[in-house]
Structure 1
Amino acid sequence: MANEEFALIAQLQKSLGHAGKGVLLGMGDDAAWLDTEGRSLVSSMDTLVAGRHFFVDVHPADLAWKALAVNLSDLAAMGAIPRWCLLSLALPPLAEGYGQWLQDFVAGWRELAEMADVALVGGDTVATDGPLTLSITALGVVEQGVMRRDAASVGDLIWVTGTLGDAAAALDRALVARGLPGWDLDCSEACAQALENRRLRPLPRLDFARAARAAGVACALDCSDGFLADLGHILRASGLRARVDLESLPLSSALSACIDGDLQRLQRWPLTGGDDYELIFCAPPTLTPILMELAETRALPITAVGQILPAEPQAPEDVDLYWQGLPLPLPESRGHQHVF
């Protein structure tokens, strides 16, 4: 494996190891040497395992894009500017070798990395008898302060970027197609493809997030586990409660056609489904005009879906859910549950 490992590292260095901003010494030595240019450093790391976090038959280009995207989305949630990444690959034996697989992986990674202006500056490759596993560390910088989960305030409006539920619906469709438990959905091929694109190639909201932080937004996180679960992270960290209007959750035209007013599907996909990697952020109503302007200039829809409420120690739930003005019980499942 040693020679093959060195060849893989050399190909990654040649294809993705270009110099980036603040890279004094990148791939090729024992460690990278980076210059934060006097800014604070923000870091995030995710590990993805075949069969648990992604299907083993996923196209390598889509796998690379999403693996990088989920880490960049964490930086976006903090309002950070992405700069560098580290990549670790644990590779099981592949009958035909990793030549074409790596070319496709590099293509998907490079496409998003160039959009985000982030450089690969190091990592590791190892052989494994287990499933294909990727670990990525993303590093970003901020000039002053970050957006945090614990910074919501009473009276803040709760906003989301983009639309919710596409990835969860696409995952259900993919599970059913593989004979696994999931909810079937009847939609056109065009709608199905639009949903699948959102599942495989999420777009980290980096530019809007930085602008929102600069405008005074103090509280945000990315929506990966499901809207209701992730809003719960904010509420617990901030010690507050919230009201959410289910009909306000923004839907893409593709998902809206699939839901067609079905309340159960509305709760399963946009309310509790994960993998959207949109931003949930909280801001005082006084910021609404500037936030709408920032979103409009970036052609990114943002939607106010509820409001932060004072804490009530005796309240049975931390979210009051409403549907067309009437209270609605919270679903049993709030979102993705991590096993470990």
Structure 2
Amino acid sequence: MAGGEFAFIEQLRCRLGKMASDVRLGIGDDAAWLDPAGRQLVATMDTLVAGRHFFPEVSPEDLAWKALAVNLSDLAAMGAEARWCLLSLALPWRAEGYGEWLEAFATGWSALADRHDVTLVGGDTVATDGPLTLSITALGLSGHGVMRREAARPGDVIWVTGTLGDAAAALDLALVERGQERRAVPCSAPRRDALEARRLRPTPRLEFGAAALAGGVLCAVDCSDGFLADLGHILKASGVHAQVALDALPLSPDLADLARTDPERLQRWPLTGGDDYELILCAAPALSTALQEAARSLSLRLTAVGSILPATPDARAAVTLTWRDESLSLPFSWGHVHAL
């Protein structure tokens, strides 16, 4: 890519480096010059590697969308307004170049970035002998603090946006097709496509995160590593316990129909599957009505799934799970497997 790197960067600048009122200087210099106008800056970064976080044959459009979405979801969990991104691309060298690939990548990126008025302001490109790797730094703004993992308190209601488990189910279906998963999952083509769309193009809940913060919610995390793992981050940071009703976890109609044939997967997919990029929030009961109204205004499903309790002496039992008000023992590992 040595001879064409500057042309590649120029193509990237032309396609994605639009100027905005808070960007004094964007792509093309040694660094970006941004003007946050006195607001607080919130920053996050994620790296995706081919073969580890996504299948190498994924379309550039879907790859761009998801790479951006996973970063915007972190900002949503803080209640921040997404504003700018930096993009680093390590591209396996190939003689024919990356012109068409970049055009498709830019289309997928713009489809999500334009929706949230996010501007690409810089980054880096490099040719590599290794796998395709993307690193994105997302920068957002907040005018009144952020939501934090350490802010859950006994008595808080545990809320979940959207639905859980679709990405995990889609990954299982993809692994079966590749011969890497021995247990078949009977599934129609339309249902498989719907689940796959959720895996490849998650929706960062930026608007709801900002509304929750503005409404007084102090604690949230995005659900990227699986519901139990991410709720566990809150419980550890806050020093509290939780009770969660498994039968209350929100499932999409496609997943609910699919999981009826396999009760174990019904439990495992939404609990430990990961890559949902929904929000888990802990909020005082007095905020329940306002949160539900905010969700309705965004046509967003919002479900109360449990409550925060005082810490127990046994730190290993941070979560009590119930099924129809009966305590539940899980017949499987809680370990998270990243969706590709």
TM range (shorter): over 0.9
Give the conservation status (yes or no) of the 8 Å contact 1:227–1:335. no
Q: Residue 147 of structure 1 aligns with which residue?
A: 147
1:100 CA drift (Å): 1.2
Q: Residue 121 of structure 2 aligns with which residue?
A: 121
Residue by residue, what CA displacement relative to the aligned partner does 1:87-138 show, whole Å, maximum 9, x if unpaired?
A: 0000002364312111100100011000011000000000000000000000
Residue by residue, what CA displacement relative to the aligned partner does 1:220-278 show, whole Å, maximum 9, x if unpaired?
A: 01000000110000000000000010000000011011011643012211111100000
Unmatched segments (≥5 aa) in structure 1? none
- Structure 1 distance, partners of 2:84, 2:2, is 26
The equivalences for 1:124-203 within 5 A come to 124-181=124-181, 183-203=183-203
Give the conservation status (yes or no) of the 8 Å contact 1:156–1:284. yes
Q: Residue 277 of structure 2 aligns with which residue?
A: 277
Give the conservation status (yes or no) of the 8 Å contact 1:90–1:127. yes
- Secondary structure of 1:300's counterpart equals coil
- Secondary structure of 2:232's counterpart equals helix
1:316 CA drift (Å): 4.1
- Structure 1 distance, partners of 2:322, 2:169, is 22
- Secondary structure of 2:4's counterpart equals helix
Residue by residue, what CA displacement relative to the aligned partner does 1:14-33 show, whole Å, maximum 9, x if unpaired?
A: 10000124101111100000
Give the conservation status (yes or no) of the 8 Å contact 1:225–1:335. no
- Secondary structure of 1:47's counterpart equals strand
Q: Residue 101 of structure 2 aligns with which residue?
A: 101
2:294 aligned partner, one-letter code: L
1:172 aligned partner, one-letter code: D
The equivalences for 1:209-224 within 5 A come to 209-224=209-224
Q: Residue 30 of structure 1 aligns with which residue?
A: 30
The equivalences for 1:257-272 within 5 A come to 257-260=257-260, 262-272=262-272
Give the conservation status (yes or no) of the 8 Å contact 2:222–2:280. yes
1:333 CA drift (Å): 2.7
1:259 aligned partner, one-letter code: A
Residue by residue, what CA displacement relative to the aligned partner does 1:29-70 show, whole Å, maximum 9, x if unpaired?
A: 000000111011000000100000000000000000000000
- Structure 2 distance, partners of 1:46, 1:315, is 30
Which TM-score applies when normalising by structure 2?
0.97
Structure 1 residues 29 and 73, CA, compared in 2 at 3 Å: closer, same or farther?
A: same
Give the conservation status (yes or no) of the 8 Å contact 1:274–1:335. no
- Structure 2 distance, partners of 1:168, 1:182, is 16
Give the conservation status (yes or no) of the 8 Å contact 1:80–1:141. yes
Q: Residue 242 of structure 1 aligns with which residue?
A: 242
Q: Residue 293 of structure 2 aligns with which residue?
A: 293
Unmatched segments (≥5 aa) in structure 2? none
- Secondary structure of 1:250's counterpart equals coil
The two structures, once aligned, show a CA RMSD in angstroms of 1.3
**Residue 16 of structure 2 is aligned to residue 16 of structure 1:** yes
1:183 CA drift (Å): 4.6
- Structure 1 distance, partners of 2:128, 2:45, is 20
- Secondary structure of 2:137's counterpart equals strand
- Secondary structure of 1:3's counterpart equals coil
Moved more, 92-101 or 271-280: 92-101
Give the conservation status (yes or no) of the 8 Å contact 2:274–2:337. no
- Structure 2 distance, partners of 1:105, 1:273, is 27
